[in-house]
Amino acid sequence: MKTKYTFIPLSDISDPAIMKKYGVKPDAETLDVLNTVSRQKEVVVLIKIYWGDPREKICEAIDHIPLNCLIIGNRGLGKLKRVFMGSVSNHVVNNGACPITVVKSTEHEA
């Protein structure tokens, strides 16, 4: 059975009551940036929510949306943590079906 995904408009993403029913609490700073850019550039911002392993779900999203390119962050985990936890960005770079740019974190975990 194919799962149906719905796009959620930025106005709904910015409404805490609506996001609560999805079990998601968007970052206030990210919402501010999205609202500012969408107003200035006159673009429509939509979101899709996927639950599950981020490595697999991001690759799935690349195929389903489909994306022409993806910019993904990197938390900068140390080598040991990366071995145990796995690197989402590394998995997506190696398995994603579009060009992917990884933006490294400026903060490093101890």
**Domain ranges across the chain:** 1-49, 53-110
Lowest mean pLDDT among 28-37, 61-70, 100-109: 100-109
Task: Output the pLDDT for position 1.
Answer: 41
Task: Output the pLDDT for position 35.
Answer: 93
What percent of the chain clears pLDDT 70, i.e. is strictly above it?
Answer: 81
Indicate the SS3 state at residue 72: strand
What is the average pLDDT across 11-40?
Answer: 89
Task: Output the pLDDT for position 107.
Answer: 62
Task: Output the pLDDT for position 19.
Answer: 87
Mean pLDDT of the chain: 82
In the CATH scheme, what architecture does the domain 53-110 have? 3-Layer(aba) Sandwich (3.40)
For residue 40, CA distances in Å to 7, 23, 34, 44, 46 come to: 22, 29, 10, 11, 16
Residues 38-68: tens digit of each pLDDT? 999 998 888 888 888 999 999 999 998 888 8
- Does position 5 have pLDDT exceeding 80, yes or no? no
Task: Output the pLDDT for position 93.
Answer: 92
What is the average pLDDT across 74-86?
Answer: 63
What's the CA gap between 105 and 89, in Å, rounded? 12
Bridging pattern class, strands 8-9 and 46-47: antiparallel
Contact 62, 88 (CB under 8 A): no
Contact 88, 54 (CB under 8 A): yes
Contact 97, 63 (CB under 8 A): yes
